[in-house]
Chains A and B, each alone.
Chain A
Amino acid sequence: MDLLYDTLFNGLAIGSVLVLAALGLAVVFGLMGVINMAHGELMMLGAYTTFVVQNIFKAVLPEALFPVYILVAIPLAFAVSGLVGLLLEKTVIRRLYGRPLETLLATWGVSLILQQFVRSVSSAFAIGLLLAVVGGLLVPRLTPKQWWQQRWTPLLGTGSWIVSGLIGIVVASLLGGQRVLDQPWFSARNIDVTAPVWLRGSIDVGAVNMPAARLFIIALTVVALVAVGWFLQKSVWGMRIRAVTQNRPMSDCLGIPTEKVDALTFLIGSGLAGVAGVAVTLLGSVGPNLGGNYIVDCFMVVVLGGVGKLAGTVLAALGIGVLSYIVGSGSLLLVWPAMPAGLNELITFFATTSMAKVLVFAVIVVFLQIRPAGLFPQKGRMVEA
């Protein structure tokens, strides 16, 4: 019995991380059919926000306040990742609606840039970047209007960006000579995010040992789910989002500002990634590669859960969590020690974390043979449904 509770708790613990990480992805995918490959990097930004908040608390505020830094980091991470997501939507994804595969590639490109950005960013670098962007934006304002109605206008536009980019590079490398300015803010190294003391211990309930960090993540997941659920079901904008999810052209006809809905959804989805980023700092390492560790698992959750229903996401994530725990820890051997030798060997073969992944994927592919559209398929009469 203890084993059952233990399995359930640990499965829930693994699953809740997946829920939190995949939630934003599922919301965006459901609405826009866009898979955001940079979702993992938005999580990473959330984790780096946590790092910055932690350092500010350490350096500036009285020590008594330190334990609550993580609570402050959550809304901030939401804001940072959400704003970056919004920027991404406004600049890139907007141009690519209706071309989901191109979006996939573009967001992958963004994820590469974000990864390298946190590795390389230093004060000199940031100043150079700022100069380049400001220069590129200002040239059209400062030059005669008629220049911008010529045949060679596109060359001028491109050229001005190239020139301002070069200026940025030159400035950055000049400033880079200064030791102070050249220091990378984060560098390629992993950074140290330390959980406050109250999240480092564990609580024993019966024979089950529950780490506080896991409980915190489960609670955070529940809060996030309730908040998203409430927002989608009860608020005006939530209703609009649902309307667009169900039928975009019709919603457009009825006067719902679909562009704003898209931007808002993307902001929320990205913000949720930031929150997930805060949560994973309690469990694992924080570094530029953080996103890659979670992203494929998130995709699996979305594929398994189907589009459009939060319940699908939750159920899929928990299912994957419990399954990978059972397989990975080899618990089956404990329940049934006397199983036939062949089966025993098979289970032992898969009872490592690497091989559990292999098996979980196989199960998902088999499951999709029975329910191709996931656990909760969206009902509709479209040919494509």
Chain B
Amino acid sequence: MYDVAVIGSGASGGAVAYTLCKAGYNVVMFEKGRLIGRDEFSKDELAYSRRDLITPNLFDEYHTIEEKIDGEWKATPTYESGWSFWNGSIVGGSSNLMSGMVHRLHPDDFRLKSKYGDIEGSNIVDWPIGYEDLEPYYDRVEELVGISGDHKDHPYEPWRSRVNFTQPATQENAVVKLFDKSCHALNIVPLVTPRAVLSKDKEDRKACYYSNFCGSYGCSSGAKGSSREALIKPALATGKLKLMTNTHVKSLKSNKEGKVTFARVVNTITGKEKEISATIFVVAAQAHESARLLLNSANKYYPNGLANSSGELGKNLLFSGGGSGQGELHKDSLKEIKFNELMTTGLFVNRSILDWYFIDHWWYGKFKGGSVEFMFEHQNIISRARKNGYSEGKLVWGEALGERIVKRFTEQKSIRFEIFNDWLPNDNCFVALDETHKDKYGMPVGKLRLEGHPQDVKVGKYIAKKCEKLLEEMGAKNIYSSISSSAAQNLVAGGCRFGNDPKTSVLNKYCQAHDVENLYVADASFMPTGGSVAYTWTIYANAFRVADHIVKVLDKG
């Protein structure tokens, strides 16, 4: 019997296992995928970016996606659409594959409702904790996982207990000279992006080697702050962690005393099933899958799903509002820097803008805005080459195609922005169980309804205009942006919102189920509102907070 069973090995599972193992407790961790070690990762675009080799085959395991067609919700299985909602089924989960551009939430993100009031059609609530509760854990992540950066005061940068990052910012491409100058010309404050990538060696993890292929790929030096490198490896070194790979948890069994007694797991290779018991169970399977697991764990004591007396389980799923845009910096019109400096590969753009995190505009009014990250277009070669295949709706081929491709790769470089603004929780964004579709293990698949709130698009468009102006100032050509309410499957949270009232929330403020004493959900599921930055830093930080609480509970006995 283990002290704690952790379901999922991503950012949150890693933080929980690390903390518990260091405190001397025996932990078992289930990971559906296999272990790919640092030495095995390569920058193989075909394998990692273009095929489902580190995510399940969609014919075996999938979701159904509900879209409104002619006023009715119709579900399409993802094996039909190819729109996969798996983000990395390997040890360390999607934290292996992130770009690592991270920010802390702002204190006002914890009290959106009191600060901005209700927005019609959305289910905004304040969090049961404040920034001050999470700050020490943001700091712990900075140190343990390793976040590099260079802090500058800014009205929308939250306060921090440590003066500056212990890891200096990663190296930057010369384009930042042009970027910063253009920002200053427009009265915009450019900030250095904190990055979950080491700029200096840290124990056995080596500093970033600027491979030019960071996001979507595993890191070969250990610089990227994946759960696998930063937390699971040291947890394994304690001898307290039993890591079970190729092990999928089908359901959790609970008894009439209201406790989870064991996890029913299946070996994904042999198909053999087992029951594994523990004192405490921590679900960390990524938001939409965590809710699905609890829904799939219904029994006669919990007929609507485990920990679902509120009826809130799976509801108020969150993604990220906003979108992206880009422009091309051309060789023949480049300002400020030399073209060969721009074309130097591997170095980061490392810039973000928080100026529009909260907006108070004489015409548009006062509203919550968002953050923006700047980066080069992803350097994947096949996908960049493929973008030249159409002109005016017709395919381009032959010599004309060759010319376009060579020009794109040798005479320009595209700079890109990504906007993150709140995805307002609403009644039409949730995960439920599909009534007919089952995965290859015989369990109902998650059915996702993914409607965004119109406010999200308004905010995204407002910020995109500002970003397009900035690219214009930089001298970029062919600038465009795309803002929509389409859900980014790699930015998912919510579904088990935390709160003080068991009637309106699934988890209490420690992310412990209101209904089930020995059940915790440690991933991004807890978030009732998502804030306007990527979730990773907050996921790590909150999981450390939850883990500290579990240690206290276990210490008490």
Chain B associates with chain A: no
**A contact residues vs B (CB 8 Å cutoff):** none
